Amino acid sequence: MASSITEAEFANLLPAAQSALWIARILEEAGAPQPKPIVMYTDSLNAQTVALNPNNTARTRHLDIRYKWIVDRIAKGQISLEHVPGEIIVADGLTKPLVYDKHSKYVKMLGMVAIEVPWAGKA
């Protein structure tokens, strides 16, 4: 169990990065070269800071060593980590409680808008 949101966000980068590298390797073996580094996106500035700073040991010593794997891959230039603001991530609308305005925004981002179907008739 994660003891903080930052730890949970950081831990979630691990399986995503492993999968991205695995898929890139398969594509390369199939003759489709992949750009390096593989760019991954996160909406957590704290997780990005932890991943990009390998010397940040005092604050992150409680993190399991397996999670530090991603720090190593970033240092080796295999992965790049970019920040994306949470308000433009469509999936956030499915994982967080939202006030009406934000809910409406995410519904539109998902393409879930009311459309008139000519053959359905009027209700």
pLDDT digits (tens, 9 = 90+) for 22-50: 999 999 999 999 999 999 888 877 777 76
Asked whether 117 and 76 are in contact (CB, 8 A), the reply is: no
pTM: 0.64
Reply yes or no on whether the pLDDT at 121 is more than 80: no
The CA distance from 8 to 5, in Å, is 5
Cis peptide before 37 (omega within 30 of 0): yes
% the chain with pLDDT above 70: 76
pLDDT digits (tens, 9 = 90+) for 79-89: 998 888 877 88
pLDDT of residue 43: 81
Asked whether 14 and 42 are in contact (CB, 8 A), the reply is: no
Residues forming beta bridges with residue 40, ordered by sequence position: 81
Distances (CA, A) of 87 to 17, 44, 113, 116: 23, 12, 19, 28
The CA distance from 104 to 2, in Å, is 31
